[in-house]
């Protein structure tokens, strides 16, 4: 049972390089000391999670959802929706009816 845990320090699964790569994918800009810190913690967590390997799942279907669900259909009819101003109101920056963002293309082609 798992109310306590033991971690073998020897084999690292996640190193700093991997953490840097993941942080880019997750659109997080981490400082060097954060990368160190998360590398250690994520490695401990992933080690713990590695116990899943012990479960025989060779003939098991994955569950992506707890209850059986199927597609939900409805008539394609126009219904009232939120006012545009109400939706745009929370935006940090906007112009007329548009969300405003910094440059998207940074290189000259």
Partner 1 sequence: MGLNRETACRLAEMARGGGINPEDIITDTLGRISEVDGKIKAFVDITERDTLLRKAGERKKGRLSGIPVAVKDNICQAGRPATCASKILHGFSPPYNATVVDKLEGEGALLFGRTNMDEFAFGSSCETSCYGATRNPWDTERIPGGSSGGSAAAVAADETILAIGSDTGGSIRQPAALCGVVGLKPTYGRVSRYGLIAFASSLDQIGPITKDVADCALLLGVIAGHDERDSTSANVPVPDYGSFLNLDISGLKAGIPKEYFVKGIDTEVDKSVRSAIETFKKLGVKTVELSLPHTEYAVSAYYIIAPAEASSNLARFDGVQYGYRDAAADNIVDMFSATRSGGFGEEVKRRLMLGTYALSSGYYDAYYLKAMKVRTRIKEDFDGAFKKCDFIITPTSPSPAFKIGEKSGDPLAMYLSDIYTIPANLAGIPGISLPCGFTSAGLPIGLQILAAPFREDTIIKTAHAFERAADFRKKKPSL
Residues that bind partner 1 (CB under 8 A): 1-5, 14, 18-19, 22-23, 25-30, 34, 38, 41-42, 44-46, 48-55, 57, 60-67, 69, 72, 74, 82-83, 86-87, 89-93, 99, 101-104, 106
Nearest to 44 by CA among 18, 17, 20, 12: 12
Minimum distance between the CB of residue 41 and partner 1, rounded to whole angstroms?
Answer: 6
Minimum distance between the CB of residue 11 and partner 1, rounded to whole angstroms?
Answer: 15
- Which two tokens mark 92? 């940090």
Nearer to partner 1, 10 or 84 (CB): 84
Q: Which distant-in-sequence residues (6+ apart) come within 8 Å of 38 by Cβ?
A: 19, 23, 30
Q: What DSSP state is assigned to residue 27?
A: T
């Amino acid at each position: 049972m798992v109310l306590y845990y033991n971690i073998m320090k020897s084999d690292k699964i996640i190193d700093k390089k991997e953490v840097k790569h993941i942080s880019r994918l997750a659109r997080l800009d981490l400082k060097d000391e954060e990368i160190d810190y998360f590398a250690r913690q994520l490695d401990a967590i992933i080690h713990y999670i590695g116990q899943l390997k012990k479960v025989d799942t060779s003939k098991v279907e994955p569950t992506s959802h707890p209850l059986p669900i199927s597609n939900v259909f409805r008539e394609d009819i126009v219904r009232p929706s939120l006012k545009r101003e109400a939706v745009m109101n929370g935006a940090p920056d906007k112009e007329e009816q548009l969300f405003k963002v910094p440059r998207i293309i940074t290189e000259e082609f």
